[in-house]
C-alpha cells in the first residue's frame, strides 16, 4: 500500500501545476471578457456572450482533445501539459467572467456615486473603490470554481499528463486493486481541496476587514 501511495503522491505536482496554471489564465483573461460582457456597445456584448456560452457549453474533454489533437496536431505543436492548461484556462476565463460580472452587480450603486463625488480618477475609482469590493464578493464563487477545477484537472490525464488520476490508473493496471487505489486518490483530492477553501475564507475575511476600515 505504501508503494501505491508513493506513486500517487508523485502525481500531485502535476495536478497542482495544471490547476494553478489554468486558474491563473482564467483569472487574467476573465477580466477583459467581463469588460466586453458589460460594455455599452451591443455587438461587443453579444460577442462576449457568444464566446462565454461556447466555452461553457462544450464539455472540457472536447476542448482539450480539440486543442491537443486539432491545433496541436496541425501547425501548432503543444505538449500535453500546455494543451490541458490552455483548454482548462479558457474555460475558466469564461466562468470567471461571469463571476466578475456577478460581483460587479453586487457592488452598491452608492459606491460608484461616492467615488464620482470625491472626484477620483477612473484609475482610482477602479483600483481603490471597485476592485477591492469586487474581489471580496467574487472570492467565494472563485474558490468554489477552483476546487471544481482541481477535480476537472484529472481530464489532463487523458492527454498524457502524469497527474494523480494518471498515476491511479497506472497503479490499478499494475496491481489490479482498483478500490484501494482510487480511494487513496480520492482522499488526496480532498486533502488538496481543503486548503483552498480555508485560504479563500481567510482572504475574504481579511479583505472584508480592510474595506470596513
Amino acid 73: pLDDT: 66
In three-state secondary structure terms, 74 is coil
Q: What is the pLDDT of residues 33-71, one digit of tens each?
A: 999 999 989 999 999 999 999 999 999 999 999 999 888
Amino acid 129: pLDDT: 80
Q: Which residues of the chain have pLDDT under 70?
A: 72-74, 204-213
Amino acid 212: pLDDT: 56
* Alpha-carbon separation of residue 175 from 178, 182, 185, 190 (angstroms): 8, 12, 15, 23
Amino acid 154: pLDDT: 94
Amino acid at each position: 500500500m505504501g508503494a501505491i501511495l508513493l506513486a500517487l503522491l508523485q502525481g500531485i505536482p502535476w495536478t497542482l501545476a495544471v490547476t494553478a496554471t489554468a486558474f491563473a489564465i482564467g483569472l487574467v483573461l476573465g477580466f477583459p471578457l467581463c469588460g466586453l460582457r458589460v460594455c455599452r456597445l451591443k455587438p461587443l456584448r453579444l460577442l462576449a456572450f457568444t464566446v462565454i456560452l461556447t466555452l461553457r457549453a462544450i464539455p472540457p474533454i472536447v476542448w482539450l482533445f480539440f486543442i491537443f489533437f486539432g491545433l496541436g496536431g496541425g501547425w501548432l505543436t503543444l505538449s500535453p501539459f500546455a494543451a490541458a492548461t490552455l483548454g482548462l484556462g479558457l474555460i475558466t476565463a469564461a466562468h470567471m467572467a461571469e463571476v466578475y460580472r456577478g460581483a460587479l452587480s453586487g457592488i452598491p450603486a452608492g459606491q460608484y456615486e461616492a467615488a464620482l463625488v470625491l472626484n477620483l480618477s477612473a484609475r482610482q475609482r477602479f483600483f481603490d473603490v471597485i476592485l477591492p469590493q469586487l474581489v471580496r464578493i467574487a472570492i467565494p464563487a472563485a474558490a468554489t470554481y477552483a476546487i471544481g477545477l482541481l477535480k476537472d484537472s484529472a481530464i489532463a490525464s487523458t492527454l498524457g499528463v502524469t497527474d494523480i488520476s494518471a498515476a491511479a490508473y497506472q497503479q490499478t493496471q499494475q496491481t489490479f486493486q482498483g478500490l484501494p487505489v482510487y480511494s487513496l486518490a480520492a482522499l488526496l483530492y480532498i486533502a488538496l481541496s481543503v486548503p483552498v477553501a480555508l485560504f479563500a475564507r481567510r482572504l475574504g475575511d481579511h479583505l472584508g476587514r480592510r474595506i470596513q476600515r
